[in-house]
Amino acid sequence: MPNLETLADALLVRSPGIGAAIEHQDRRHGRGEGVAQPGDEIWVADGSYPVPSNAGFLAPQGVSFYGGFAGNETAIGQRNIAANVSRLTGFHPAHGVVVITFNAPLPGTIFDGFKLDGTLPSQPHSGGGMIIQGGTLTVRNCWFTDNIAGNAAGAFVSGANATFEDCFFDHNFSQVGDGGGIAAVGNGSLTVRRCRFIGNLCRELFGVLGRGGGLYNGPGSVLRVYDSYFDDNWAYNLGQVLVAQGGGIANNSPNARVERCVFLRNEASMGGGVYSGAPLTLVNCLFSGNLASEPPNNVPFDTGMGGGIFGEPDVPLAVESCTIVANWSKHTAAGVSMDGTFENCILWQNVAQVEPGDNPDVPNDPDVDPNGVPDPDKPAETEHLE
């Protein structure tokens, strides 16, 4: 049995048994044996907690989880999450497919102060570190790292209202599909504040799109991202059948908004920093060193456009007070490829490796550069009349 203590209306869990705590008696409420009830809190001490099965932990509805305790605290404010790492892990003989699942969490439910790692599915599966299905959940101070899933390797949000605050998504890998860090689908909302997305990967394969190396937001999900950092995330074309979109963020829901964010060194075939297939507003963001690349073999779709930002044609994007500098594309529009408006922006030293034929308005003439400017070192030809 795990070592459990009753603290106010909370249970303190010490390694190795968080699963048993969920079903442990809550003596304060005199319930007898049974599962934790809505309004309960489970406090988890420093240590590693392997998943009990490949299905991972199932959170009781309405129960909040707090990690980062040494074991002698009497209030949440006394914990130290930096010094005391509460690790929920799929590194286990069970080979967890997902670390923890929330089914229809009640408003006010909080998951705060955990490291989630080590999922390795045997077949394509949505969600690695966390699954949120319906309901409302706030996730704070969590580290999602080294999770592997079919898609949504870090966290999968399905028809839910999810908020992530002060979280770190680090080197999560979606094998076939969207959202290396987070993927949100269905009617709901995804709000991200002060989070970091570093080194996450999604890939296109087997006729499945790969979208959002850092974050993918699907139709119906209202997206808000504030004060967050996206570095070295990649949407990768492996199957080379469909395009990979949005190294940092890929969005397909209207009226999305991204403010005060940094996009560095992200890569995709379209939209190295950000891709959007629906109206999107970007405010006070920095884009630098992002890449719109091209697969090594010929592919039946456009690639290498929008190193910093790519918006689908006729989709209005609004870019306000942004700096877009030193981005690169294999073909055209190294900084931005989009329809819409710019206001108070800086675009500087973006480099497109334009090749003959990339500009359809310019004839493929070896004596004319791809932008339609004649070669100044080549003498002009004259017509001789006999």
Q: What is the pLDDT of residue 19?
A: 52
| Structure token digits, residue 118 | 């080590």
Q: What is the pLDDT of residue 379?
A: 45
Q: What is the pLDDT of residue 214?
A: 98
Euclidean distance between CA atoms 34 and 36, whole angstroms: 7
Q: What is the pLDDT of residue 93?
A: 64
Instruction: Give the residue with greater pLDDT, 9 vs 73.
Output: 73
Euclidean distance between CA atoms 47 and 385, whole angstroms: 91
Q: What is the DSSP letter of 349?
A: S
CA dist 159 → 11, 206, 213, 221, 223 (Å): 30, 25, 21, 8, 13
- Residue 120's pLDDT band (boundaries 50, 70, 90)? confident
Contact by Cβ (8 Å): 320, 283 = yes
Mean pLDDT score across all residues of the chain: 85
CA dist 70 → 73, 113, 218 (Å): 7, 13, 40
Q: What is the pLDDT of residue 303?
A: 83
Span of 206-210, 299-303, 344-348 with lowest mean pLDDT: 299-303
Instruction: Kindly tell me if the per-residue pLDDT of 162 is higher than 60.
Output: yes
Using CB atoms within 10 Å of the CB of residue 32, give its burial: 0 to 12 exposed, 13 to 18 middle, 19+ buried: exposed
Q: What is the pLDDT of residue 96?
A: 72
Euclidean distance between CA atoms 346 and 336, whole angstroms: 11
- Residue 304's pLDDT band (boundaries 50, 70, 90)? confident
Q: Which of 234, 212, 232, 231 is closest to 223 using CA atoms?
A: 212
Instruction: Kindly tell me if the per-residue pLDDT of 99 is higher than 70.
Output: yes
Work out the percent of the chain whose per-residue pLDDT is above 90.
65
Euclidean distance between CA atoms 367 and 101, whole angstroms: 62
Euclidean distance between CA atoms 230 and 248, whole angstroms: 6
- The pTM of this model reads 0.86
Q: For the segment 208-263, what is each residue's pLDDT rounded down to a tens digit?
A: 889 999 999 999 999 999 999 999 999 998 767 778 999 999 999 999 999 999 99
Q: For the segment 315-327, what is each residue's pLDDT rounded down to a tens digit?
A: 999 999 999 999 9
Span of 87-91, 164-168, 271-275 with lowest mean pLDDT: 87-91
| Paired sense of beta strands 328-329 and 280-283, if any | unpaired
Average pLDDT over residues 116-131: 84
Span of 57-71, 111-125, 129-143 with lowest mean pLDDT: 111-125
- Residue 167's pLDDT band (boundaries 50, 70, 90)? very high
Handedness of CA 330, 332, 225, 220 (dihedral sign): negative
